Structure 1
Amino acid sequence: MTQTITLRYLFDPLCGWCYGASRSVTQLAKHPAIDLRPMPTGLFAGSEARPMAGFAAQAWANDQRIAKLSGRVFSEEYHRNVLGDTDASLDSTVATRAVISTAEIAPSRVIEVLATIQSARYVDGKDVTSAAVVSDLLTKMDLEDAGARVIAADDDLLHAVDVRTDAARQLMSRFGQQGVPALIATINGTQSVLDSGVLYAGIDRVLTTLNLT
């Protein structure tokens, strides 16, 4: 019998590289021999948010590299409506709350919610820094309770965000990770960092790295 491999997936919902890895991550979440544990880091949340006006050109250049590596779409709607909004910020506060709210209400759907938020931003060009926009996405996924908490974040949710993102950052620090996405694997009781670059090469490459092929 194949032993289950635990993969802790460190990410930020508004990280372009994490979006580039999304196809592989979604497939990993469905693999019967893998226990994928999503861990949002809050990399761009709260005080870590940054004005889009000073970041857009760099982001678009990175996005083109990610697209070539991963085959993910970074649409013109995203380029125009998200990067082109000079009043906007790269702020994952709302998206992180959505992911963590889902983790507490419907944990099996966290990766699905993450992928929906990423697609709304990078393909549809929607403002996923808006609580109303993200709440609507969750409601359309029949996650009304999670959506309501995004609109009116209660103390329990805010505490959960602090606890979970702090745990993720401590894990990053422990394993010397400077950015996301990052994968920490536990195999036969031994923890190690996987090269996140395999996520852009496709699921087969990841499974080979994990000796699951």
Structure 2
Amino acid sequence: MVLHYIYDPLCGWCYGAKPLVQAAQQVLPVIAHGGGMMSGANRQSVSPQLRNYVIPHDRRIAEYTGQPFGEAYFEGLLRDHSAVFDSEPPIAAVLAAEQIDGRGLEFIGRLQTAHYMEGRRIADVAVLLELAQELGYDTAVFEAAFEAADTQHHIKQSRQLLAKVGGQGFPTFVLEDAGQFTLIDIGPWLGKPLEFSDWLRQTIPTAQVAVAAPFCGVDGCA
């Protein structure tokens, strides 16, 4: 049995669910699928309108999940009108980390901290290479894997999986057992990673779980 985690690096509710992903990894294999919420035509430059839109949602995520948001994000990145929110480069970096040594999930967590706590521009290749170096990757090796990543194909496959399992947005958690997919409603477990891992251990033998309710739509958080 494996847990599929359909995420986006710029999805605030995925950041809110970060401790649940880490807890699940202690119980069973977790496979990440980047959904490309803010890629292609949906990529956006930071603007006052974007800032005013996301801040109330981020405040709610912080209150609901206990995940911290930094002033460098609220008062730095969200006021940097030269920054662009684009999911594709960070997803490519996750694919590179996974290809090199299977640490894609760890890289997702580092991206989320860099974005929501440190206010770093995770769509910028230079920043992604800095983060890779911080995690111990050889820059040349990582850059080669990053450039070779077939990110658009990965996003397409992730969207196909999302549709196949009946998910509506990000994050979507899905248990797969012998080819059968069961959505998990993570709402009751947000902010409760230890309880979530205990529940997973009890649930795995039966795989009887509820249908998930999404937090971020496929084209943006709301």
TM-score bracket for this pair, using the shorter chain length: 0.7 to 0.9
Change in 2 beyond 3 A, CA 1:170/1:117: same
Mean CA deviation greater in 63-72 or 186-195: 186-195
Structure-to-structure mapping, 1:195-210, within 5 angstroms: 195-207=185-197, 209-210=199-200
Deviation of 1:189 after TM superposition, in Å, equals 4.6
**Which whole-Å CA distance do the structure 2 matches of 1:71 and 1:101 have between them?**
30
Q: Contact 1:101–1:146 at 8 Å: present in 2 too? A: no
Residue 55 of structure 1: SS of its match in structure 2?
helix
**Which whole-Å CA distance do the structure 2 matches of 1:209 and 1:50 have between them?**
38
**Which whole-Å CA distance do the structure 2 matches of 1:199 and 1:182 have between them?**
13
* One-letter amino acid matched to 1:203: P
Change in 2 beyond 3 A, CA 1:193/1:110: same
Change in 2 beyond 3 A, CA 1:119/1:61: same
Deviation of 1:80 after TM superposition, in Å, equals 1.4
Could you report, residue by residue, the CA deviation over 1:68-100 in whole angstroms, capped at 9, with x for unpaired residues?
111111111111111111232221222111001
**Which whole-Å CA distance do the structure 2 matches of 1:122 and 1:16 have between them?**
8
**Which whole-Å CA distance do the structure 2 matches of 1:112 and 1:79 have between them?**
24
Structure-to-structure mapping, 1:54-65, within 5 angstroms: 54-65=49-60
**Which whole-Å CA distance do the structure 2 matches of 1:37 and 1:8 have between them?**
5
Tell me the percent identity.
26
Q: Which residue of 2 aligns with 1:133?
A: 127
Q: Which residue of 1 aligns with 2:212?
A: none
Q: Contact 1:184–1:194 at 8 Å: present in 2 too? A: yes
Q: Which residue of 2 aligns with 1:69?
A: 64
Structure 2: which 5+ residue stretches go unaligned? 204-222
**Which whole-Å CA distance do the structure 1 matches of 2:66 and 2:186 have between them?**
16
Pairing 1:212–2:202 present: yes
Q: Which residue of 2 aligns with 1:25?
A: 21
Number of matched residues?
Answer: 201
Q: TM-score, normalised by structure 1?
A: 0.85
Q: TM-score, normalised by structure 2?
A: 0.82
Q: Contact 2:5–2:173 at 8 Å: present in 1 too? A: yes
Computed over aligned residues only, the root mean square deviation of the Cα atoms, in angstroms, reads: 2.0
Structure-to-structure mapping, 1:1-213, within 5 angstroms: 5-31=1-27, 34-53=28-47, 54-107=49-102, 109-144=103-138, 145=140, 147-149=142-144, 153-154=146-147, 156-157=148-149, 159=150, 161-187=151-177, 189-207=179-197, 209-212=199-202
**Which whole-Å CA distance do the structure 2 matches of 1:199 and 1:110 have between them?**
23
**Which whole-Å CA distance do the structure 1 matches of 2:189 and 2:14 have between them?**
9
* One-letter amino acid matched to 1:19: Y
Could you report, residue by residue, the CA deviation over 1:110-148 in whole angstroms, capped at 9, with x for unpaired residues?
111111111111111111121101111101211225542
Q: Contact 2:26–2:197 at 8 Å: present in 1 too? A: no
Structure 1: which 5+ residue stretches go unaligned? none
**Which whole-Å CA distance do the structure 1 matches of 2:163 and 2:45 have between them?**
26
**Which whole-Å CA distance do the structure 1 matches of 2:83 and 2:153 have between them?**
27
Task: Give the 4+ runs in structure 1 shifted more than 3 A.
Answer: 207-211
Deviation of 1:199 after TM superposition, in Å, equals 4.5
